[in-house]
Structure 1
Amino acid sequence: MRKLQTQGVHHITLTGADRQTSIDFWEGVLGMPFVFDQPNLDDPDEGHLYFDPGDGRLITVFTNEARKPVHNRTPTDPGCVHHLAFNVSRATFSQVAERLTERGIGHSGPKDRGFMDSIYFKDPLGLLIELACYRFEPPRGCSHADVMIEAHRIRVERGDYNIQEVHLADAIERLVARTQQTLSSDQGS
């Protein structure tokens, strides 16, 4: 049977609060440019806002002026969305906790995830948001996923619990050795 091969996330659509609360959070807090809006074509009582999360793709938000912000946690039952994670630079990540605190937004504080650092907080309707920062840059011609696959293999070979920076460094070295030509006959020194 043939696959329906995906090529990345096209967009993610969320149910938001009212229009201004949604704009204030997605553009005002997270810095996602507000690209355009139009009616929700499936529900004339709702608006449909479009934001660029930084990669030219889209995060869209259905709005309704009758929905006001609540700070309850969104459901985490099986089949529900647990959280959305967005990539940020190391420079931005170092400022996230301070900037969220300045806005009065509660957060988890930085979390060490071995291959990345994360911080968690909620959107105006209680959806858990993660800002994440990789601890590595992939070598030229490779993706973050390429490095993660190789780091996973190394971790499993060594019997380690989770991916750590040493696995990333060794994975990058392996990928460079496989993909980068050299005139040297001995790359082991």
Structure 2
Amino acid sequence: MTLATSGLHHVTAIAGNPQANADFYLRSLGLRLVKTTVNFDAPDVYHLYYGDEQGQPGTLLTFFPFGKVAPGIHGNGQATRTAFSVPAASIGWWRDHLRALGTEVSEIAERDGEAALTFHDPDGLELALVAHPQGDPRAPWDNGIIPAGHGVRGLHSVTLSTGDEGGTIAMLAELGLRAESQDGNRLRFAAGEGGPGALVDVLVDPRAPQGLVAGGTVHHVAWRAPDEQTQLRWRQELVERGAQVTEVRDRQYFRSIYFREPGGTLLEIATDEPGFAIDEPLLELGRALKLPPWLEPTREQIQAKLASLSLPDENNPGFAERETA
């Protein structure tokens, strides 16, 4: 490929109850709800975006919370772990904080010079908090819920599970990622300048079960493209190399193309532009249900099908409640 991504754009997963999802990511992890919208392909389901203050690419974990949903199967053909970046001195604080909230958390593990905690969200999605030895210059979302000095800085990495080592590695190379290290059957690749937000681990196990995307699993992993022109060039190159790539899809806050890597994981290339402040002020991100123009005529019907959400007021550390939808 003549193009190369600079890192992760976002990770999208499947959840069950939207209130439980929001409670965990806003209160337990202290992320910001940067957009409350719907799944454009199934508008009776929320699409909730969590990230930093502005919802910058590389900080975003998003969810389709379907309400009642069968649990998925973690296995090959999926991203099986999503990791966030936190300060090195905060790992112990996070362990104690999550345990105090009743979340089962692993002991601190060391690998490749990094310290990590592993745990699961209410739907069983595997998560990690990782402290990179070189630090992370990104600013946390300072909302009074999690002390800013301990706050999540953004995505750190994803782990792709595959039974097709050669195929998955070849696709990562086509996206411009380079091999960094290997620890047994776990291989690390980096995009751009590397470091938190630009890393992917490939876990190779041909004997592992095939994953099933449903509750508590990742739906897709998105990589960054700076603009639409670059995305179109990328799409052309992927098609020329034999990949089955969708047409460009308008996601309102970015443009997307989708394709599967040979190991089965659904990947996306998403543009950095235009961002989440195009339809509401920065200070009000996530506070109201936002719909794209083509869904506005059916707003009343859509809202009738969505459960109301009780969300903490970012301007009040005492968790004053506000309703959305």
TM (norm. structure 1) is 0.64
Could you tell me which residue of structure 1 aligns to residue 65 of structure 2?
A: 63
**Which amino acid in the other structure matches residue 15 of structure 1?**
I
Q: Answer with 1 or 2: which has the greater Rg.
A: 1
Could you tell me which residue of structure 1 aligns to residue 109 of structure 2?
A: 111
- In the TM superposition, what are the counterparts of 1:122-137 in structure 2 within 5 Å? 122-137=120-135
> What secondary structure sits across from 1:39 in the alignment?
strand
Structure 1 distance, partners of 2:4, 2:133, is: 29
Q: Conserved in 2, the CA contact under 8 Å of 1:116 and 1:135?
A: yes
Deviation at 1:5, TM superposition (A): 2.3
- In the TM superposition, what are the counterparts of 1:47-62 in structure 2 within 5 Å? 47-52=46-51, 56-57=56-57, 58-62=60-64
Could you tell me which residue of structure 1 aligns to residue 43 of structure 2?
A: 44
**Which amino acid in the other structure matches residue 62 of structure 2?**
T
Identity %: 27
Could you tell me which residue of structure 1 aligns to residue 78 of structure 2?
A: 80
Pick 1 or 2: higher relative contact order, CA cutoff 8 A, min separation 6.
Answer: 2
Q: Structure 1 residues 85 and 53 mapped into 2: Cα distance closer, same or farther (>3 Å)?
A: farther
Deviations along 1:150-174, one digit per CA (max 9) or x if unpaired, are x96xxx9xxxx9xxxxxxxxxxxxx
- In the TM superposition, what are the counterparts of 1:134-173 in structure 2 within 5 Å? 134-137=132-135
Q: Conserved in 2, the CA contact under 8 Å of 1:53 and 1:59?
A: no
Deviations along 1:17-56, one digit per CA (max 9) or x if unpaired, are 2221111111111111111111111012211011115772
Could you tell me which residue of structure 2 aligns to residue 99 of structure 1?
A: 97
Query: What value does the CA root-mean-square deviation take over the aligned residues?
Result: 3.0
Structure 2 distance, partners of 1:81, 1:9, is: 13
Q: Structure 1 residues 137 and 125 mapped into 2: Cα distance closer, same or farther (>3 Å)?
A: closer
Higher helix share: 1
Deviations along 1:79-133, one digit per CA (max 9) or x if unpaired, are 1222101100123212011111101111111111141000100011111101000
TM (norm. structure 2) is 0.39
Could you tell me which residue of structure 1 aligns to residue 32 of structure 2?
A: 33
Higher strand share: 2
Deviations along 1:60-97, one digit per CA (max 9) or x if unpaired, are 11112334xx9x7x533211222101100123212011
Structure 2 distance, partners of 1:14, 1:115, is: 28
> What secondary structure sits across from 1:75 in the alignment?
coil
**Which amino acid in the other structure matches residue 8 of structure 1?**
G
**Gap regions ≥5 residues in structure 1:** 139-143, 162-189
Structure 1 distance, partners of 2:67, 2:128, is: 26
What number of residue pairs does the alignment pair up?
140
Correspondence 1:17 to 2:16: yes
